[in-house]
Structure formats: C-alpha cells, structure tokens
Structure 1
Amino acid sequence: MEEVDRILIHALRQVGTDVDEDVDGVRQFTSELLVEAVVRCIRVIDPGLGGALAPSLPPGMSARFRVGMSLAQACQDIGYKGEIGYQTFLYSSEPEIRSLLMFLVEKLPRESAEASAQPSGKSAVLQRAIAAAVRAQLDLAWVPPNCRLPLHCETQSGGALNSFYTRTLSSPHCMKDSKTTDLKEVTEYHRDVLAPVTAQCSSGATMAASLLEQHAAELSAAQEWDSEWKSQGLLSRLTPQEYRSRKLARLQKRIQEQLRSAAQPASESAFPRAASDLSDVLQSFRGSAPSEDLLMKGTHFSHTQKFTFTQEAPAAAAAGPILSARELGGDVQLRQQEELSALQLQFQQLCSDVERLAADMKHAAVTHAQALDELKQRELGNSEKEEKLQVKKKTIGLLPDADANVVQLQSLVEASAKRVVSLASQWEKHRAPLIDEHRRLKEICSRQDLESSRKLSEIKSLHEKIHVSTEEAKKKEETYKQLVTELESLPQDVSRSAYTQRILEIVSNIKKQKEEITKILSDTRELQKEINSLTGKLDRTFAVTDELVFKDAKKDESVRKSYKYLAALHENCNQLIQTIEDTGTILREIRDLEEQIETENGNKTVSNLERILEDFKAIRQENAALAAKVKEG
C-alpha cells in the first residue's frame, strides 16, 4: 500500500494539489487536503463540472455538509460506483480515501491541459506558486465588507486600484526593418539616448499596462499579417516584400483620390443660398465670439462704420458741446439699418440674378449638346451621300462603253475570286499550325495552372504543418525544461538502479504471492477431491454394510443389535463431521470479524464519532446564534 500511496500522491501533485513533503500516505490526509485533491482531479477530468466546486472547506458546518454533498454528487456524475456521501470527505477512512483517489487518478487524462501548460525553466516554481495563489483567491466567494470575517479581510482586502492608462513605448526590438537597424545613428541612439522601458513610464501600473498593450498590438499585427498572407498573399504569387509594397502603393493611391475628391470645388447648385445660410457660414468661419484683432474681409458697411468711428472720433471729441453721445449713437444705428436693408435687397437681387444665369447656362449647355449631336448625325449622312454619289458618278462614266467594261468587271471578279481562294488556301496552311500551337499553349497553361494550384495547396498545407510542428516543438521543449527542472529538484543520491531494483523486488514478491496463491488453490482442490472421494466411499460402504446386516438381522437377534449400533455409529459420524464443518465455519467467521475489527480500527470510528459530536455542538451553536439574530431583527 505504501507504493500505491506514493503513486497517488505523485499524481495529485501533478494536477496541482498542495501536498506537503512529510505526507507519505493516505492515512495522513485531512478533510481539507482530501477536498482539494478531489476538486483538482475533477477539474482536470471535467472542467465544466469542476469549475463550480471550491477546493477548500468553508468555516461553517452547514456549508461543509453542502460542499461534501456536492463533491459526492460530482464524483457520482463522473462514474464513481462506490458508496460515497458527505461523510466520505468529513469523516473519511483510509480505505474509502484510497479507493476514491485511485478511481480519480485512473480517470485522469494522460496529458492533461494543466500539465502541458506548466511553465518551464528556472522560474517554474515561482510561476506555479503565483498561479496557485491566484486560483485560491478566485475560488473564494466574494463577501460584502460588512459581513467579512478576519479570514476574508486578509484575502479580500481592497488594495490599491489603478486605472488602465497606457503610453507608447520605444524599444530596439520593435525596429524590424533591416535598412533602419543597420544605420549607425540608430544604433547609437538605441545605445546612448533611448531610455529603458522602466524609465519611460511615470508609474509601475502605467508600465505594466503599456507593456500589455504593446505586446497585444504586436501579437495582433503578426496574426493579421499571417492570416492575410495565407489567404491573399499566396494567391497573388508575389514575395512578401512585393506584396507589402503593392499594398502600400494602393493605400497611397486611395488617399490621393480621397484628397482630390475633397479638394474639388462645390457644385453650382450650392451657390444660390439664402442670406441666413450665408451669415451662418460666415459666423462658423469667424467663430462664436470673433476678436477685434482678427483680420477678415470687410463689407462696404463695415469699412464705412470703421472709417466713421476712426475719422469722426477726434471731431466728435472736439465738438463735444454741440452733439451729445446719445444723438450720435442714434444716427449711427439708423444709418446701419438703412445700409443693412439696402445690402440685403442688393444681395437678394444678386442671388436671383445668379439663379437665373445658372438656369440659362444649363439651358444653353443642353442646347449646345443637342446641336452637337445633330451636327454629327448630319455629317454622317453627308458622308454616306457622298459615297453613294461617287458610286453613281463612276457608274455613269462607265455607261458609254458598257460591254467592254462588263467584260473587264467579270475578269476582275474572277481574278478577285481566284485571289480569295488562294488566300483562303494559304490561310488554311498557316491556320492549322497556329491552331495546333494555340491548343498546345492552352494545354501548357492549363497544366501550369493546375500545377500552380497544387503547389499553392501544398504550400498552405506545409504552412499548417510547420505551424503545428512549431507548436509541438514548443510544447516538447517546455516539457523537456520542466522535466529537467524536476530532475534537478529530485535528490541526486538515489540512482536509477535503486529504483529498478525496487521494481524488480516488487515484481518478484508479486510472483511469489501468486505462486503461493496458486499452490493454496491447488491444495484446496486436492483436499476437496479427497473429501468428496472419502464421502462417496463412506456412503457406499455404509450402504453395502447396511444391506448385509439388515438381511442377517431378520434371522438373528444379535445381528439386530449390531444393526442398531451400526446406525448409531453412522449417525454419530455424521454429527461429528457436521460439528467439524461448523467449527471451520465459526473459525472463518472469527477471522472475518477480526478483519472487520481491524478495518473499523483503521476507519477511526471513535475519532470520527468525537468529530461528529463536536460538529453537532458547533451546528447547535450556529443555530442558536441565528435564532438570536432572528429574534433581534
């Protein structure tokens, strides 16, 4: 059992259970350690089922019973057929713990996700400790501040909270362009001027957030480029540099087109606007509260007003006794209103003139387009008529000598027909090899397309295989580093030969036990056969003797007494045999009872009863406290 317990403890440590080094057997498992081990195993076997289970027992007894029932139900859900309940976790015995843990360890996958995700290298121990602490804090249920116990206050303190603020960081590894990294000035800047990453941020929280943001951005950009290259880059049949340069040229062209379209003047339909729209536009350009120092294009009214205030101000100051300031202000406002009304009328007249001129221009443009179309059509008609006229002129010129001209035309037609036939034969001579060449080239192109598509699919599959092989290599490298770290942490004084010798000894002991069991079974069979043969022989002998004695007993009185003694002897022998069998049965029962007594002693029944009594007292105290709170409320 010691070897079995060691194997179980090693497997539990592999799934993340915090088993102390001094624990070397299942009998030393406490309720808290058993609950943690069972929850860790269930999380590896079925993450969906184990995610809702807490790996620690709560302080309250009623909550402990609920946790025990939920764990028992979870074990039954994953296939445990043994007897299990809350008592298995709260008042457990060594055989129950061993059978449950053996079932869970057998159900564990060969390569669990947690084992493959373990960190590697010398920092493995620190990373595991951090992960265990984070998991322990995440597994604890949140409790409001007013209801927290001292344990909760230690684990759920508020702490310092910081907002997620990032800052752009500069680092040499981000410069991936070879042309940039080869420059001497850039190298000197990175070596002498560029500050470390820790000095570029004002606080530690900002540095962590900035590093996370930069890493996420780089990772996202790499993934996007990888997916784009596999989906579109390979189909373009260009190198990565050519693909990037073509993409950059397209982007620049689109930006230029957008700038050109944005820089084009507005259409003619935007000119005719009302006076209020113009004032709104001018106000938006000038701002809500334009300052006096702002230079802008003034109207005749503004120039007049400025000239009036600048030229007549000294005169008004010299002739103060003649005009008062109120009268001067009233005259100025009256003139401003008259000027404004005149300007508005003039502006409306101009707007109407612009609209009328725009309509005239549109009408003239349409008329001009119609005239151009009509002119083109007439030119085409004139050219056709000129051609017909030339044909008629030639025909009229040939009428005086019609017979000679007909003969000449027939000879020309026959010569043209012969020339067409010869040209057709020559074209057929040239057409056949050209068609064959075209078909050959078309087949070559189709074969090349098929070959290129096949190679493209092979390249994609190779990319996927490379990706999978890289991931497997990383996992194997991490596993190798983890195994090396574990090997370094193991005691070096124990050699492999010692483990091999122990394994061979265990195998030899198992063989000896098997041989002894086989020998005992064979002896038992021999004894059973011998007993059966003797019983049969005895029955046959008694039957023959009984028959012989019974025949003589009819004739002789002494023989009758012998027959009676024979029957009594046979009955006494049967009783003796039955007594021996009953004695053996009683001895077996005694041995079974002794084994049960040892099992009960191993189950720690007395200590479990004491714990049950203590838990019962705690529950009564909790109930009394709850009743007192209810009465107070």
Structure 2
Amino acid sequence: MASYFFLMYCRKSIDKVCLYYSDIDDDVQSLKQFSTEVIVACAVRCIKTIIGDVDLPNALPQAMSAKFRMGTTLANHLQELGYRGDVGYQTFLYSSEADIRKIFMFLVDKLPKETVETTEETLGSSVLLQRSIANTLARQLSSPWVPPYLKHRGITWRGKPPTWQREGTCCMFHFHSMHLTSPEGSADLTKKIPKALKSYYQSSLPYVTCQTLDHNDLIPSLLEANAADVTAQQEWETEWNQSGLASRLSQQEYRDRKRQRINKRITDQLRQDRQRSEAASGSGVSQDLQQILASISGRGSGAAKTKGSRFTHTEKLLFAKDEDKAISEVQVQASAGQTEEEKQKEREDEVNSLKEELNNLTSRLDNLDLEVKKFTASIQQMGEEIANQNRANAEKEDGYKVKKRTLDLLPDAENNIAKLQTVVDSSAQRLITLASQWEKHRAPLIDQFRNLKELSSKTESEAQLKLEEIKEFRKKMKQVQDEARNKEELAKQLHSEYERMTKDVNRSAYTKRIMEIVGNIKKQKMEIDKVLVDTRTVQKEINQLSGKLDRQFTVTDELIFRDAKKDESVKKAYRYLAALHESCELLIKTVEETGVIMREIRELEDQSETESNKKVLANLEKITGDYLQMKKENDALVKKLKGKS
C-alpha cells in the first residue's frame, strides 16, 4: 500500500514539477531519467516560485566553478526553507534518485496552493468582516517590525505604489485610566434599589463616555474596571471555596462576619495607636531626661570647663577651633623671625596638647553616656516600683474596707449574728428549692441536648459529604471547561486549516485510488497467507519425515544390534547403517547451509541493485570529466595570467 501510494505521489510531484519546467520530454516517466540540467532547472523554478525575488539563472552554466557555486546556492536556499536532510552541491551535480525524490517532494509541498473561491455561496457581512480582519492581522504579523525612531511622523510606507502598505504608531498613546462609576444592582431583579439611588442613576449619573477628562482614557478605564471586577470575583470564588464553604454559613452571613472582623481589627488598631500617642504625650520621660541633662550640666558649673550635651560640646569645640586658628595666625605673624625647627616643635606641642584635650573630651562624653543610660534604667525601675506600690495600695484598700465593715458590726454583735444566721438559712433553703427545680428542668434539657448533639453530628457528616461532593463537582467543572476550551481551540485550528486547504480536489479520484490500493493490499495479503500456509505445511511434512526417519533408524538399529552379536555379516550391515545415517545427516546440513547461502545471495543481489540505482559509476565518470574540465580551465587561466604579466 505504502509503495503504491508513494509511486502515485511521486508521479503527481513529477507532474507538478513539469508545470514549472516545460522542456521535459514526454517519454520521461521517472526521476531516474532526469539529467543534471533538468534537475537544476526544475529546482530553480520551484525555489523562485516559493521565495519570489531570487537572483538565480534558469539554466546550468558551462564553467565548472559556476556550476559548483550554483549548487551551493541551491543547497543554501533549501536549508533556509527548512530542508533537514544532507544537501550540498554534489546533491545536484552528482545526484541519486532517492535524494532528488526527497528534494522534489519537499519543494512540491512548499509550493503555493491554488485556491479557487466558490461563488455560489452567499457570504454575510460578519463573515466578510472576519475575513478582512484575519487578512489584515496575517499581513501585519508577516511584516517586519520597524522601530519608532525610524518612522517618518509615525508612519512607514512599504512596498511599491500599487500595493502600498501603511504601518505606524500615530494612533498610539500612553495607558492612563480613571475611576468610572456605573449603576450597581440594576441587573439583579431580586434586589430592591432605593428610590433616591435609582433617581440618581437615571437623572444625575453621567454616561461612562463623559466621565473621563480625555476621550483616549475611556478604553483603558473600561479595561481596568473590567479587570478589577473579574479579579474581585475570582478572589471571592477562591475564598468562598476554600474557607466560606467550610464555615457552613450563607454568603451574606459570611460577608457580614468578615466585615465585622475587619471593622474590629481597624478599631483595635486605632485604639492602640491612640493609647500609644497619649502615653507618649503624657509621660514625662523626655522632660525627665532634659532635667537630668540640665542637672548634669549644672553639676560642674564651677569648673573651668563645664559639662553638657554632645551638641553643646561640639559647638564649644567648633568655637574653640576658630579661636585656636585666630591665635595660631597671630602667633605665626609674631614668630615670623623664628627658625623652622622651633616652628616644628611648637606645632608638635600644639598637636599633642590638642590630642590630649580631645581624649579628655571623648572620655567625658563616654562617661556622660554611661550616666544617661544608668538614669534611664533607674527611671524604668522606679516606674515598675510605683506600679507595684499602686497594686499593693489597692489590695490594702480592699482589705481595709472589709475590716471596717466588720468593725462597724461589732457593737451589736448578737443581733447581727442572728440576722446573718437567718440570711444563711434562707439562702440555704433557696438553694435547695432551686436545686430541686433545676433537677426538674435538667433531665429534659439533657435529653434534648443529646438529641441535638446526635442531629448535629449527623448534619455535620452530611454537610461534610456534600462539601466534598461540591468540591469534586467544581473540579470536574473546571476540567470540563478546560477540555471544552481545548476542543474549541482545536476546532478553530482545524476550521482554519480546512479553509486554507484547496477546494478543487476531486474526492472521487482519491477514493477510487484508495479503493484500488485497498484491493491490491487484500490481494497481496491473500498471496502472503497462501505462502505462509504452504510454508507451514512444508514445515510440518519436514518435521514428520524427520521424526519418522529417527524412529525407523532407532528400530533398525536395535534389531540389527541384537543379531550383530551372533553373525559377522550382520555386523557389517550395522556398520553400513551407521555410515548411511552420518551421510544423511551431512546431506541435511549441506541442504540447510545451501538455503542460508541462497538467502544471503538474494540479499547481496538486492544490495547490489540498490547500489547500482545510486549511479556510482556514472557519477564517478562525471566527476572525472568535471575534474579534467576544471584542470583545462585552470591551465587556460594560468596561461592568460602569464601572458598578461
């Protein structure tokens, strides 16, 4: 089947190639009869038809170097078109039938299809619009991209005057969106919209096209609003599927509980921030710290150099440096007549004194930092002690109140004790009556609680099962949606491929060919079955004869061996029988070996036929002829160069 169909396809490809090259004789029936010139000319015509603007000669040149160059250019064009086989100049100049068949089949598949539009069907405006959109998109996708800075005023004209195509970015602008307000709940008839809101929607709310400041912002605003709605709906669906269904609440109850939780979180956060701000404003930590720093700075007021904060020290150091600079300038002017050694000593002394002063200041600053840290720690400790004392005072006040009440009752102790006893007795009696009443109410409540607990467990199990079923149904729905989406895409792809296919194909001819191929296959299968049956019968006969032969030999061997002990002539017969058995085995082995050798001979003959089809000798003769021609051309060129020199 495959070989027959392949031959028909090759014949069809030859017919198509002949359409592009008209110098082929009518006697040519296969690619084996193509010459090198015809192969090159057909390949050039096909490549020109596929690619278009290609600078290739239609005929094979005479010079050998030009032939080699043309072969390499054809091979390069084939590789650019996507041919994956091994191809080079030798494929065209020293061709084999298999390689040329592959190349022509590839080129025939790449040829532009002949489309015939049917004028009988009436096309609507939507179909025509879709086709024009598809053609425009295909043309824009096939056109090369040009950067904006190479375009003249955002427009680029490509092609020649009758088929000009415009490409540009003149209508492009930045993506800028605005918030749009649209009526909510108008599509849902179950919800009632308030009259004031409804009148606002009808009379006061502007149209969406009038809500943007710029007309170009309308489409980005609509896209962003739509994307926000879609993402909010998807997030709500995922949240409801994950945690909403598990809460066993309705959607409205779940939304109300979520809103209450968010409001509570916001109020707690605001309350905490307010408490922190009040504590920070009401606490006197900063004032205490300033007082401590002032006391530290006032502690050494009688000394030569006062203590203070780092800012005061740095300020004093800066002023001291300015004063030192002025004094040093005066000293320089006064000591203009001193020697350089004395100046160097004075400078070193000044540097050492400044270093000592700097070290003293840094040590004082470190000590001040330590004292500040100690004071802050002591402030924290004092605050904790104050809190502990407040707690102890509150406890003591409570104890004092209790003791005061007991002391107030001591003057009339007997009457008070009697009153307390009556109160205790009455409370005990009340407790007994309440316990008896509680026991009466407790038994039915316990029974009701147990029944409700059983019902709740059953409902929980049923709800859990229904929840699992809902999740499984949702998963199946998603899978079905994905499958439907994939099938729709596949259907669109197949529909587009069907529209791109040629409509002028004669289906009856193809069906007739297919039926012929099927009939030939059935005939071949019947012949193969007959051959297999014959081989099986022959194999059975061989097995039966070999088994019969072995059995007869064993029987005759036993009979003759019995009589060989008594008679000498029988011994000779036994020896002849053994020799005959060995010779028969040798004959069988030789027959089997001859069969194997015959199969190998057939395989070698097939290989020789395939090698002969490759035209090795003819190609070798061509190569030698081309080599001699190149040698002559090279000699002629050398002679010309020598004559010019």
Please give the range of the TM-score, normalised by the shorter of the 2 chains. 0.3 to 0.5
TM (norm. structure 2) is 0.38
TM (norm. structure 1) is 0.39
